[in-house]
Structure 1
Amino acid sequence: AEVRTLRAHQFPEDQGPLAHPVRPRRYREINNFYTATVYEKGSEVVRMIRTILGPELFRAGMDLYFERHDGEAATIEDFLKVFEDVSGRDLAQFALWYHQAGTPNLTVSST
C-alpha cells in the first residue's frame, strides 16, 4: 500500500515543478510545508532506516533519540546521529533524501 501511495501522490509532486526536499531550507507560507513530499517521502526514509538497521537497532535508536531529545526541537542530523551511535554505521547518505528534491534514477543490470 505504501508504494501505491508514493507512486500516486508523492512521485508526481517530486517530478513536477513544485518539487522540494523533505526539509526545505525555506518556505513562503507554512501551509506550503504540508505536502506529500514532507509526509510520505519523509516517513519512507524512516522506514528505509529501519529496514537497513533491523528492528532491534531501530528500536534502540528510537529509545536513544527520545532519551537525548525529548522535549527539544531536534534536527534530522540529531535523528540520524542516534542511529549511527547505536549501529556504528555511517548514515550520512540519508541526509540527502531530506535535503534534495526529486526521485532517484536507478539503473539495474543483471550479469
Structure 2
Amino acid sequence: MSKINDRSRDIGEFKIQSDDNMIICRCEEITKGQIRRAVHDGMFTIAEIRRYLRTGMGLCQGQTCGKLVKGIVARELGISPLELEPAVSRAPMRPIDMKILGNERKGGKIT
C-alpha cells in the first residue's frame, strides 16, 4: 500500500508555522497554512486539496501555484513530490452569451 493511500498512518499533529500566512495560490487566495491544515484533515492527494480549497482552479489553472502546493503536501506527508499524482488539468472556462451558442442571426449577422 502506498504512503498516500494509507490514511491510518499518523502524520503528526498540525503545528502552526511562522510562514503559514503566506499566500500560495494567488488566484484563490489560499495560504500555506490552509494547505497544511487540509493535509492534516485527511486530504492526501493534489486532487483532494484542489476540490477542498480550489487551489489551481483560478485564472492561472495552477501554473503559478501547482509546484508549490505539491511540495507543501509532500512535505507534510513526509514523501517525495514525485509520489504525488498531478491534478487533472482542464481548459479555463469563460461565460458566453447563449445567443452565440444558439447561433442566432439577425439580418445575416450574429447579434
Normalising by structure 2, what TM-score? 0.29
**Hey, which of these two has a bigger chunk of strand by percent?**
2
**Hey, which of these two has a bigger chunk of helix by percent?**
1
Normalising by structure 1, what TM-score? 0.29
Q: Report which of the two structures shows the higher radius of gyration computed on alpha carbons.
A: 2
